[in-house]
Structure 1
Amino acid sequence: MPPFAHGKPEHDVLSCNLPIFVEKPLSLNLETAKNIAAEIERRGLPSAVGHHWRYLDIVERARDLLAGRPVRLAIGHWLDKVPPVGWWLDPALSGGQVVEQAVHVLDLARLLVGEVEMVHAVPAVNGVDGEVDRAVAAVLRFTGGATGMLATTCLLRHKHRVGLEVHADGIALDLTETRLTVDGETIVQDDGQAKIRVARAFIDAVRGGDGDVRVPYHEALRTHELALAVARSAAQSRPVELDGQGVS
């Protein structure tokens, strides 16, 4: 489901008292997503959002390696091409690259580093008025004391680099969707089962079992708020403060 289509479909499903699995990003604005989250909570229904990176087995390995080592620097990238769908270049339909794509990296940063309390994003001068920013650079300040950066671009002809670097005392990790590099040397390949695991966890939860749902809707809402804050900062050319606790 494209970003601009969210809202009514979710409420239609929830009105039938059905559990819901939602594709990211949650919507083009925070209010739509908050209303859906409130309805899910009111009905007490299982929910999940497709942030499948949290199910990468290399992410579990990274968390083990970071145990007892607070991250102090995080550097995220989404350096890619324009996706082959007609609506993507229109920010009123896609929300822009940070919201539509780099939200995966921001979600991983929240998992490995913590909540963000301030973002300051600067876009490149656009070549075409009314289209998404072709490049954005952002600085992030985390509540736990870490600092971070996010760089995005859709100027390329190929997916050049997508992932997150995290640096803690005595260790440097570089995560992509397929592999983990430790201290620039040890490379661990992911098993490629994350998309299956995220779907299986939701199915198990719907069946009433102990489904390992790592990103229910209310958790995805926190990441969505962060992505929208970065986009707003870029649009308004000013820092944007968050409450550092996610969405209450």
Structure 2
Amino acid sequence: MTTRIGLVGAGFIAGRHVDVLTSIEGVTVAGIADPRADRAEVLAARAGAAAYAHWADLLDVERLDALWVCVPPHAHGEVETAAVERGLPLFVEKPLATDLGTAAALADRIDAAGLLTAVGYHWRYLDTLELARELLAGAPARLVLGTWLDRAPRVDWWARQDGSGGQTVEQATHLFDVARVLVGEVEAGWATGSRSPDGPGDILDVCTAALRFDSGAVGSFSNSCLLPRAHRIGVELVAPGLGLWLTEHQLVVTDDDGERVVDRDVDPFEAEDRAFVAAVRGEGDDVRTPYREALRTHRLAVAVATAAADGGTVRL
């Protein structure tokens, strides 16, 4: 049987998903929709799919088994609602929205429909993340340091607060998600941020937060988009007799035996797509971030971003 996939959005992330999906035996990318017709046509040609100018046309014309939603943060909401109404399994790229209300309402609709979903927190599929979790099982983390020091992506919506929700919501959300996996839930915190004349758009170009976890661990999370290129992106953890530095590409372990570097063996992008296709087919059950679980991370990211804008308490 052929599994027919539709994609909404034809940007960089959608292209990465297309490369994986077209490599899976028995999967057909049937159609791709994007309001920029030129982008839709280019990516559709790459996938051997039909191009659509609007997601409604894609849903009306194509017979789909699942839908990948790869739109900018501000564009979430309507397309997911339409997919829920059709009972279409949904893979949604993070962040879930620019705000909390849109995502919370969608989570309720998805739960009511009993719909199969996954969200693109692809770090959860890192084999190095699993190794970090195993190492921390005997020595829980006491300190967490998350950093996302990078440049601003060159897309027009990213530097607008109403387009992306800001860097904390759009990028640093990965750091919060990893921290939740490895350390647990956040109890309370404080955050602040600012923007400079040299910063892009109207978003905060520097932000830092101090958080306390239910376990008693404490964490510091900082992000900036002022650099000319990616500089330092990852999560550092300190536990009794153990230090870990996790990035998307490797894990550095410091313990009594010295320091060792473990490179990842798994492409997390490929792993998350293959896992969701398997779930859609009823052949697997390795969806690690369904929508309701992703909402917990999104809620934390939005709370930190809101506190940073106000210079105050992180309210969860």
TM-score (norm: length of structure 2): 0.74
Out of 235, 238, 261, the position equivalent to 1:164 is 235
Residue 91 of structure 1 pairs with residue 161 of structure 2: yes
Question: How far does the alpha carbon of each residue in 1:145-170 deviate from its partner, in whole angstroms, 9 at most, with x for none?
Answer: 00000010000001001000011111
**How many angstroms does 1:209 deviate by?**
2.6
Q: Which residue of 2 aligns with 1:114?
A: 184
Q: Which residue of 2 aligns with 1:190?
A: 264
* Identity across matched positions, percent: 50
Question: How far does the alpha carbon of each residue in 1:204-244 deviate from its partner, in whole angstroms, 9 at most, with x for none?
Answer: 111123320000000000000000000010111111232xx
Structure 2 contact 251–261 (Cα < 8 Å) conserved: yes
Choose 125-134 or 43-52, whichever is displaced more: 125-134
Between the two proteins, the alignment pairs up a number of residues equal to: 242
Residue 73 of structure 1 pairs with residue 163 of structure 2: no
Q: Give, in whole Å, the separation in 1 of the partners of 2:314 and 2:250.
A: 32
Question: How far does the alpha carbon of each residue in 1:30-87 deviate from its partner, in whole angstroms, 9 at most, with x for none?
Answer: 1111111111111111100000000001001111111121110000000000101011
* Structure 2: tracts of 5 or more residues without a match: 1-70
SS in structure 2 at match of 1:185 = strand
Q: Give, in whole Å, the separation in 1 of the partners of 2:176 and 2:89.
A: 26
Q: Which residue of 1 aligns with 2:194?
A: 124
Out of 199, 222, 227, the position equivalent to 2:301 is 227
Q: Which residue of 1 aligns with 2:221?
A: 150
Tell me the amino acid that sits aligned with residue 156 of structure 1. L
Residue 12 of structure 1 pairs with residue 74 of structure 2: no
What is the CA RMSD across the aligned residues, in angstroms? 1.3
Q: Which residue of 2 aligns with 1:245?
A: none
TM-score (norm: length of structure 1): 0.94
Structure 1 stretches (4+) deviating beyond 4 angstroms?
Answer: none
Q: Which residue of 2 aligns with 1:23?
A: 93
SS in structure 2 at match of 1:4 = helix
Q: Give, in whole Å, the separation in 2 of the partners of 1:24 and 1:129.
A: 21
Q: Give, in whole Å, the separation in 2 of the partners of 1:216 and 1:209.
A: 17
Q: Which residue of 1 aligns with 2:285?
A: 211
Greater relative contact order structure (CA < 8 Å, 6+ sep): 1
Question: How far does the alpha carbon of each residue in 1:100-136 deviate from its partner, in whole angstroms, 9 at most, with x for none?
Answer: 0010111000000000011211113432696111111
Larger radius of gyration: 2
Q: Which residue of 2 aligns with 1:246?
A: none
Q: Give, in whole Å, the separation in 1 of the partners of 2:187 and 2:137.
A: 22
